[in-house]
Amino acid sequence: MSLSDPDNVIERLLYTPLEAAQALSISRSSLYVLLNQGAIRSVRVGGSRRIPADALTTFIDELATEVAAAPRRYIGGRSAPRDRA
């Protein structure tokens, strides 16, 4: 088995901040905001910050849960129109 063998795939466990941002389709700056807020967990490897793959999936799962629990709103963030009598 060679390294170029398609059956020899190693699953990524850690991502750089840039790679994690690209995976989430956000900017690197936005990722750092989320890291500083504690919304996404990270670890240090030597002097480098890395984001565990499961931290990204946990973040996405939490977002999906928040969206499912949030009340429905109209586009633009306005509340539903009130009935006028």
Residue ranges per structural domain of the chain: 14-69
The whole-number pLDDT of residue 5 equals 66
Distances (CA, A) of 32 to 17, 39, 68, 71, 74: 8, 10, 25, 28, 30
Q: Minimum mean pLDDT among 47-51, 52-56, 80-84: which range?
A: 80-84
How sure is the predictor about 41, in pLDDT bands with cuts at 50, 70 and 90? very high
pTM of the model: 0.69
CATH ID of 14-69, from 3.20.20.70, 1.10.1660.10, 3.90.1150.10, 1.10.1060.10: 1.10.1660.10
State the Cα–Cα distance between residues 20 and 50, nearest whole angstrom: 9
Mean pLDDT of the region 73-85: 60
Contacts of 59 (CB under 8 A, 6+ apart): 24, 34, 39, 40
The whole-number pLDDT of residue 48 equals 96
